[in-house]
């Protein structure tokens, strides 16, 4: 294959600390498995760029990025400098929308060596995917604000659920479930309370079910589903959810497996018309930035997902992905560990330890 072109956007805060470790490990894996990668660093999509230019990205960001094969992304947001809705809608959420990355794939896995906050769980017990709809739903820009500053102040924000948008995320989730041994899909709903969009979501699940006769599926209202994540996470295999429900479940899931700092994610445009974005689930963590103590595992694992995606089924890339995940498991089990996991190692030490195992 020709070199894969990857745009690198570190963003804000610890995005800048974990990105070098992600790159270190992805480059080590690429060397070992003879994969040709070409990285281009973008110095924008961060809050300092905004303070200087009045926007998060240059006006031609779409043209600059659209021909890359992937975007490796750290985290954006520094609420003391720029309000979060401005920094995020000016960068990450634009990518998801404009590059039609309608799948947000977020593995939830209890890894060896990571203390589980739930009683009596061991690695292997928790191993599922959250498949989050990533371009519509509750994350809409339809709405408005009226009578601002008066007692009549009224704020409306619509949710948008299109048949195409719902069907394509459900299809991805059914297919993923079909490819896994348990072949089990859970749909997150709330059709008892959100009585227009969620019954529609349920209808579309019902309509698709018969096309996947080997997939067992069920549905739970989001409130009890959240409780079940905590009480019986071992029963999940693939969980499909709207944008907001998926956002919440994909922090809750990793929290149930010990720490959100190791959780990876892939914002995928399955048609490959546009680049997909690979980023950790966590944010820019202003509270720990500047100390080189952020856990780089979420960034590194996202890099493994990126290689797997770039290979599109090629065995060498799958092997590179698997080798990174195995190296992560070894480091989680035997150290070094960053302070969030009870250790005292630096971001760099953890990144180097993972990279060392890929030599």
Separation CA 18–CA 351 (nearest Å): 8
Answer positive or negative: Cα dihedral of 269, 275, 277, 278: positive
Q: Is 266 in the site for ligand NAD (CB under 6 A)?
A: no
Least Å from the CB of residue 179 to Mn ion: 25
Residue 282 binds which entry of ligand IPM, Mn ion, ligand NAD, none, with Cβ cut-offs from 5 to 8 Å by kind?
A: ligand NAD
Nearer to ligand NAD, 14 or 241 (CB): 14
Is residue 101 near Mn ion by the rule CB under 5 A? Answer: no
Of residues 85 through 144, those in contact with ligand NAD by CB under 6 A are: 88, 92
Cα–Cα distance for residue pair 96/137, rounded to 1 Å: 13
Q: Which residue ranges make up the site for ligand IPM (CB under 6 A)?
A: 77, 88, 93, 247, 281, 283
Helix runs in the chain, H state only: 15-32, 47-53, 61-65, 84-89, 92-98, 163-178, 197-208, 222-231, 243-256, 297-311, 315-334, 347-356
Residue of 258, 298, 311, 351 that binds ligand NAD (CB under 6 A): 298
Give the three-class secondary structure for 137: strand
Q: Is 79 in the site for ligand NAD (CB under 6 A)?
A: yes
Q: 285 touches which of Mn ion, ligand IPM, ligand NAD, none (CB within 5 to 8 A by kind)?
A: ligand NAD
Under rule CB under 5 A, residue 237 binds Mn ion:
no
Tell me the C-alpha distance between 350 and 296, whole Å.
7
* Window contacting Mn ion (CB under 5 A); options: 14-22, 85-93, 105-113, 242-250: 242-250
Report in angstroms how near the CB of residue 93 gets to ligand IPM at its nearest: 6
Q: Shortest distance, CB of residue 339 to ligand NAD, whole angstroms?
A: 7
- CB-CB neighbours of 265 under 10 Å: 25
Q: Which of 4, 168, 204, 282 binds ligand NAD (CB under 6 A)?
A: 282
Question: According to the binding rule CB under 6 A, does residue 29 interact with ligand NAD?
Answer: no
Helix pair 163-178, 197-208: axis angle to 10 deg: 50
CA–CA distance, 110 with 128 (Å, rounded to integer): 9
Query: Which of ligand NAD, ligand IPM, Mn ion, none interacts with 298 (beta carbon under 5 to 8 A by kind)?
Result: ligand NAD
Least distance (Å) from ligand NAD to the CB of residue 152?
A: 30
Name residues whose C-beta falls within 8 Å of residue 66's C-beta, 6 or more positions apart in sequence: 99, 274, 275
Three-class secondary structure of residue 256 per DSSP: helix
Residues in CB range of 107: below 8 A, 6 or more apart? 128, 129, 263, 264, 301, 305
Closest to Mn ion by CB, 76 vs 170, is 76
Nearer to ligand IPM, 90 or 233 (CB): 90
Residue 77 in the binding site for ligand NAD (CB under 6 A): yes
For the chain, the distance separating the N- and C-terminal CA atoms, rounded to the nearest angstrom, is 22
Residue pair 317/38 in contact by the 8 Å Cβ criterion: no
251 or 322: CB nearest ligand IPM? 251
In the complex, what is the shortest distance from the CB of residue 283 to ligand IPM, in angstroms, rounded to a whole number? Answer: 6
| Residue 283 binding ligand NAD, by CB under 6 A | yes
- Please identify, using beta-carbon distances, which residue of 9 and 325 lies nearer to ligand NAD: 9
Alpha-carbon dihedral of residues 191, 140, 246, 181, nearest 10 degrees?
Answer: 90
Count the neighbouring beta carbons within 10 Å of the beta carbon of residue 202: 15
Q: Is the dihedral of CA 293, 252, 243, 81 positive or negative?
A: negative
Q: Is 84 in the site for ligand NAD (CB under 6 A)?
A: yes
- Answer for the pair 295, 340: CB distance below 8 angstroms, yes or no: yes
285 vs 358 by CB, closer to ligand IPM: 285
Per CB under 5 A, residues contacting Mn ion are 247
Per CB under 6 A, residues contacting ligand NAD are 14, 18, 75-77, 79, 84, 88, 92, 260-261, 279, 282-288, 294-295, 298, 340
């Amino acid at each position: 294959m020709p070199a894969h072109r990857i745009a690198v956007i570190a963003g804000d805060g610890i995005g800048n600390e974990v990105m070098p470790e992600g790159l270190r490990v992805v480059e080590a894996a690429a060397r070992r498995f003879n994969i040709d990668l070409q990285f281009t660093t973008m110095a924008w999509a961060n809050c300092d760029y905004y303070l200087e230019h009045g926007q998060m990205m240059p006006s031609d960001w779409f043209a600059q990025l659209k021909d890359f094969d992937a975007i490796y992304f750290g985290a954006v947001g520094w609420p003391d400098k720029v309000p979060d809705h401005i920094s995020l809608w000016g960068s990450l959420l634009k990518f998801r929308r404009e590059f039609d990355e309608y799948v947000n794939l977020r593995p939830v896995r209890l890894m060896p060596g990571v203390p589980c906050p739930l009683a009596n769980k061991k690695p292997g017990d928790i191993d599922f995917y959250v498949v989050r709809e990533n371009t519509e739903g509750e994350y809409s820009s339809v709405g408005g604000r009226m009578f601002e500053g008066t007692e009549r102040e009224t704020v409306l924000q619509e949710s948008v659920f299109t048949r195409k948008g719902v069907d394509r995320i459900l299809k991805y989730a059914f297919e993923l479930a079909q490819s896994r041994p348990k072949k089990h899909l859970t749909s997150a709903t709330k059709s008892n309370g959100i009585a227009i969009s969620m019954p529609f979501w349920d209808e579309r699940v019902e309509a698709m079910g018969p096309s996947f006769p080997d997939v067992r599926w069920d549905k739970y209202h989001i409130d009890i589903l959240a409780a079940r994540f905590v009480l019986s996470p071992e029963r999940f295999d693939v969980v499909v959810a709207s944008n907001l429900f998926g956002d919440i479940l994909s922090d809750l899931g990793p929290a149930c497996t010990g720490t959100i700092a190791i959780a990876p994610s892939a914002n995928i445009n399955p048609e490959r018309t546009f680049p997909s974005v690979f980023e950790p689930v966590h944010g820019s963590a202003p509270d720990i930035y500047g100390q080189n103590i952020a856990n780089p595992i979420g960034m590194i694992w996202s890099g493994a997902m990126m290689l797997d995606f770039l290979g599109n089924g090629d065995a060498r890339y799958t092997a590179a992905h698997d080798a990174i995940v195995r190296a992560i498991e070894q480091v989680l089990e035997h150290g070094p560990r960053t302070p969030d996991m009870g250790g005292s190692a630096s971001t760099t030490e953890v990144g180097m330890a993972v990279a060392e195992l890929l030599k």
